[in-house]
Amino acid sequence: MMGKLTNEQIDDVLKENILGRIGCNDGNKTYIVPVSYAYDGRYILAHSTEGMKIEMMRKNPDICFEVDDVKSFTNWKSVIAWGKYQELTDERDRYYALKLFVERMIHIKTSKSAFIPHLNEKNMHPHLTENVRPVIYRIIITQKTGRFESE
């Protein structure tokens, strides 16, 4: 059976997963890249270092976000959300986003840009040699939809 996910089911898929894909476009090129994320019920929160994805989203904040929950080819859920990229510059917002992210990822090895500033960086990433200030951002969701297939 195939069908549409309800808003509650869409939120469940977003909350239960930690890996999604961001699609962004700078007017000339479309770029789709996997990202680890946390969903707080309102925003998709993520982090990165400076690079093509951040440059493109700064230029054009309209993005598409996609998450799959695949058990098999006949048992899956897929969510697509559209929204606006918003960089977090307020220290309290940055702290909240990273704290939520770390809480979700505590048992999973995270990237060098995911650490709470007051924690000893060597505890989070013992091989971190450079001073990395992550770009912390959220996706303000404006629309979302989801589909599923189950046996």
Percent of the chain with pLDDT over 70: 83
pLDDT in tens, 8-26: 999 999 999 999 999 999 9
Full-model pTM? 0.81
| pLDDT at residue number 108 | 59
Note whether 67 and 141 are within 8 A (CB): no
DSSP 8-state code for residue 114: -
Domain that holds residue 57: 2-149
| CATH code where residue 108 lies | 2.30.110.10
Decide: helix, strand or coil at residue 95: helix
For residue 39, give Cα distances in angstroms to 18, 19, 28, 58, 141. 8, 11, 29, 21, 11
Higher pLDDT, 104 or 62: 62
**Number of structural domains found in the chain:** 1
| pLDDT at residue number 46 | 94
Please give the single-letter amino acid code of residue 149.
E
DSSP 8-state code for residue 49: -
| pLDDT at residue number 130 | 56
CA-to-CA distance for 145 and 45, rounded, in angstroms? 18
| pLDDT at residue number 132 | 65
> Please, what is the average pLDDT of the chain?
87
Q: What is the mean pLDDT of residues 27-47?
A: 95
Beta-carbon contacts of residue 80 (< 8 Å; ≥ 6 apart): 64, 65, 66, 144, 145, 146
pLDDT in tens, 109-150: 555 555 545 444 444 444 444 566 789 999 999 999 999 999
| pLDDT at residue number 150 | 94
Higher pLDDT, 99 or 139: 139
